[in-house]
Chains A and B, each alone.
Chain A
Amino acid sequence: MSLLELIDINVYISNLHILRGISYNIEAGEIVGLVGHNGAGKTSTLKTIIGLLPLRSGKIIYDGEDISTLPVKKRVEKNIGYSPEDRRLIYDLTVKENILLPCWVSSSLKKSTIEKNLETVYKIFPEIKEFSDRKAKYLSGGQQKMVSIARALITMPKLLLLDEPCEGLAPMLIKRLFKSFKEIKELGITMIIAESNPSYLKHIANKIVYIERGRVKEVVQIA
């Protein structure tokens, strides 16, 4: 059974038809690359999965359940993590506080689980531990990307949505990030990574979904 099935989803922003009948499946444990130019509909697809954009028609089946009309909070409670394109950290909170925010509002995570998850996050991104008490506004762009991913990871979601995690980063840092993605995959977490540049994804993704003007152009199974 697929972890996520997008079935003929159509999304509008005002009167603009943004996603036009998007359909594809994602198996548990896969890394799926969502590739397309700017404005192709990558961010809108991720926002639709997490529930920030409402469906006009179609269905989203997650873990065997139709979540098409569920509010965002319910989807988050069902273990979907989201790291947005532009990081969106809360600048006046420390790095650690930013990462722990989703835990503070989760009713299902025990203190011991949160501590264990935080250690796992620090293991994947050891750099973060060093500046965990620094306010987010004092971080570089690359550091902010890591913190944003760490924040989405802290609840150990089943499905992790990463929007343009490499955008604006130096090649060395991108390489560093992809090493972390492999470690996240080893935790059994399914990932959808939206990227403009497919070359980054070829060594790591199980599948690449090419998207153009709100439509799936091609699905390439890699491994």
Chain B
Amino acid sequence: MLDSTPVTMLAMNTLIYTVILALISVGLNMILGILRILNVAHGVFMAVGAYLSITLVRFFLSSRLPVATTYLALILAGLIAGVLIGFIIEPAILRRIYSRIEVHQLLVTFALMLIIEDLIKFIWGPQSQIVTEPYLYLGVLNIGGLSYPLYYLFLMAVGYLILLLTYLILNHTKLGKIFLATAYDREISVALGIDVKKVYTYAFTLGATLTTLGGALMSPTLSLQPGFSTDYIVLAFAVVVVGGLGDVKGAFIASLLMAFARALIVIVIPELELATVFIIMLFTILLRPEGILKGRKT
């Protein structure tokens, strides 16, 4: 009888990694598509969501609330972090640099990343932060000969639900269509009466919230240390390139592709885990610079 373990591992790892990558990169790509700004600080938003979720989970537990309520704490922390970041950073900082050259925009968001990173150290300290209760509480599930913590199923259920909601907002609501119009043609959107400043704030907040929710949902599976989000933002940039700059649907499909490639290579040649992702990115830039869903380079 064939051993189904590698297939199960491949499928599960792909699904888990897809949702994590998509939560970060869909938000990043949405901000790029609508605000036309490459937000280097996007990864650190994920860290804010993760750290805040640890604080909120600890608060729930110290208030003697049942462990089951900590799942709500995780989601709440992600939402609070995203809304705070969105409604503070976009109007206070980003709005002032939209008309600046791209190098200035990169430098400002890079500075933001370093500032927030230091603020995290100041608030939560440089030591590792761990909260395992939500992870351990759900126990373990045996699938195809492998033991998977059930927390990952919770992470996937909530993560994919968030992505589905985002898809519905962007494609089937007036707000989503106003986002699309603004991304497509800023000047004509203004001339049609669209309040572009508001659109930018809402779009940035939604993009940031996807990432902070990603961070919050992942926090029980990680030992948080300052700088941990850097790995994820680098991967998210690769996803954004492969999916096509500013293309939200492309970002999701690229997340799936990258997650599958990574999960496969981890089973076959684990040493090439990171290289695989960036080889795909490199070939995308060379052959399909507008993203895998767009036409070939002519």
Is A212 close to B, CB under 8 A?
A: no
Instruction: Please provide the chain A residues from 52 to 96 with a CB less than 8 Å away from any CB of chain B in the complex.
Output: 52, 72-73, 76-77, 82, 84, 88, 90-93
B180 touches A73 (CB 8 A): no
Residues on B with C-beta less than 8 A from A151 are 192
Give which listed residue, B180, B184, B194, contacts A105 with CB less than 8 A.
Answer: B194
A88-B185, A90-B184, A92-B184 are contacts. A72–B191 as well, Cβ < 8 Å? yes
A121 to B190, CA, bound (A): 22
Residues of B within 8 A of A91 (CB): 184
Is there contact, CB below 8 Å, between A101 and B190?
no
Q: Are B195 and A73 in contact (CB under 8 A)?
A: yes
What CA separation (Å) do A84 and B181 show in the bound complex? 15
Most A CB atoms within 10 A — which of B185, B191, B194?
B191
B188 contacts chain A at the CB level, 8 A cutoff: yes
Alpha-carbon gap, A151 to B191, bound state (A): 11
Known: A88-B185, A90-B181. A82 touches B195 (CB 8 A): no
Q: Chain B's nearest CB lies how many Å from the CB of A5?
A: 21
B182's nearest neighbour on chain A, judged by CB, is: A90
Known contacts A90-B185, A91-B184: does B178 contact A76 (CB below 8 Å)?
A: no
Indicate which residue in A72, A90, A97, A155 contacts B190 across the interface (CB closer than 8 Å).
A72
- In the bound complex, residues from chain A placing their C-beta under 8 Å from that of B192 are 76, 82, 101-102, 105, 151
| Chain B interface mostly | helix
A73, A84, A97, A106: the one within 8 Å of B188 (CB): A84
**Contact partners of A90 in chain B: CB under 8 A:** 177, 180-181, 184-185
A102 touches B193 (CB 8 A): yes
Tell me the B167-218 residues at the A interface (CB within 8 Å): 174, 177-178, 180-181, 184-185, 187-188, 190-195
Q: How large is the interface on A (under 10, 10 to 19, 20 to 34, 35 or more residues)?
A: 20 to 34
**Set of chain A residues within 8 Å of B180, measured between Cβ atoms:** 90, 92-93
Interface string of A149-161 (1 = CB under 8 A from B): 0010001000000
Tell me if A50 is interfacial: C-beta within 8 Å of chain B.
yes
Q: Contact: A104 with B187, CB < 8 Å?
A: no
Known: A90-B184, A92-B184. A76 touches B177 (CB 8 A): no
Cα distance A88–B188 in the bound complex, in angstroms: 7
User: Which A residues are CB-close (under 8 A) to B181?
Assistant: 90, 93, 101
Please determine whether A73 and B177 come into contact, CB atoms closer than 8 angstroms.
Answer: no
A73's partner among B178, B185, B193 (CB-CB below 8 A) is B193
CB-CB under 8 A for A101 and B191, given A88-B185, A92-B184: no
Note all chain B residues with C-beta closer than 8 A to A102: 192-193
Inter-subunit contact A77/B190 (CB<8 Å): no
Shortest beta-carbon distance, A197 to chain B, in Å? 24
Cβ of A52 and Cβ of B178 under 8 Å apart?
no
Contact of B195 among A50, A84, A93, A105 (CB under 8 A): A105
B195 touching A101, Cβ below 8 Å: no
Query: Looking at B188, B190, B195, which has the most chain A CB atoms within 10 Å of its CB?
Result: B188
A76/B185 contact (C-beta < 8 A), A92-B180, A93-B177, A101-B178 known: no
Contact of B193 among A52, A97, A106 (CB under 8 A): A106
Residues of A with C-beta under 8 A to B194: 73, 101, 105
Our pick among B177, B185, B195 for the contact of A97 (Cβ within 8 Å) is: B177
Report which A residues bind B (CB closer than 8 A): 50, 52, 72-73, 76-77, 82, 84, 88, 90-93, 97, 101-102, 104-106, 151, 155
Q: Would you list the 5 A-B pairs with minimal beta carbon distance, nearest first?
A: A76-B193, A88-B188, A102-B192, A90-B181, A72-B190
Q: List 7 A-B contacts (CB under 8 A).
A: A50-B191, A72-B191, A72-B193, A90-B177, A93-B180, A97-B177, A101-B181
